[in-house]
Structure 1
């Protein structure tokens, strides 16, 4: 169990780090406390100072303290400066472009450093694209996990998806619009084209859209081009009874693992464990598929 009182040798300071949620679209969704914190902070660290300026104008408030940029490119270098201000007693407010700091945005590095130096950390709760998309998706919400952005390279993306192939919880991802079709196609390949999902676009904005369907259907739709900020929600894996998967599905799962760089022997073993069937059953399915495709199968000597 941990609290804001650290076990580190640093003495607690009078400073305060505030993580403030900002609107993900509609500025009217800004937390009521946000305006007061913007006006009262000694330092406002913003992911984009120009967007901060537009936000303060929309809220009708002026920042009372110094404004500094804090984004991915300068996060490492600026963190010590902000920690110095905090340990000196400053009230530092951290805001990102949209949503809560630290959630696929700058913030974690500063929070960790503040905690290590005995600085109290609190938050102004606000809008969250993760929770909003999850609630709108129509998929189970009792258990879920957030996966953030997937890797850009195809092989790395398949490998990451493969790690969650049997995840029972609902999965939530962020994705760039120009990569959405490739990501949905990869998801359909790993999870199956019929796995239910929802693509949530431009949440709380004028052109908000929630598109629901199977991953294969959504991939075909996205191939036509999609704009805006995207959150993807994917149904978790069904609970399959041992031996419940047909041979074609076993073969598909082996193929996905092989294409992600895994050796066939390891892929067969992993699929067998996940499906709750003997390795020989998976191997035989792979051999049968090769025969059906008119290819010469291996002799099976590599299977153990």
Structure 2
């Protein structure tokens, strides 16, 4: 388990962000899940021990087609050990590279703490649910209303005495949001480690132009603001072989591989489009989307008692 960080203070994608939310600074536990290279976060108000969980992972082995809860249970162990009370479970978007454990965590936390933390996501999740519900033949009754809170742009929320704000950061997906708590932005799949750059923009509803505007919105913040990433891929920055969760706005502005100061929108869009055309689909793409539009609920059992994912098959012409 990685050590927590304690920070100190020193709506459309192109619109400037409002002033930083007032209040104390959080204690932050970044937990790296190595199978999907995902960063999960427990963000805590140190005064009240109230906390939120951001982007939790449900383990899935696509070779054995086995779901397990090792990563989620580690989060629960941390929460129990530290005496935290979880007020919200926050999703930045409908992930395409890992399954979310939000529904499982909500159920387990309701049992252990006596209150059920709402599972929250940006309001545009509806268009993503409809799109992938149709693609995978999932009836709307399986995803309508599964999220407890659909955030409006710039919505504010409280975590104990902490103040948080929701930021719309489209580009990777149209529903993508970040969470601004104190001097910290939990940016999901928008900015990555400065040596890596930014997230891909080739999923349905993704947009390199929107990603550039979202990056510029973040890069307009003060240098000391810290950006916490949704993923890290250490093999892409060998000078730092361990995963790194955080870099400051100043560091991104100076050396982000894709959107550092001086990179134009035209240059970025050309680069991002060329790069995305060469990327393979995420390994857990189909399973992830079918679970994540349901807020982490797994497919219901069929009449034979089987719970199934639907996977597209490439068939040569003539068969």
TM-score, length-normalised on structure 2? 0.27
Larger radius of gyration: 1
TM-score, length-normalised on structure 1? 0.28
Name the one with the larger helix percent. Answer: 1
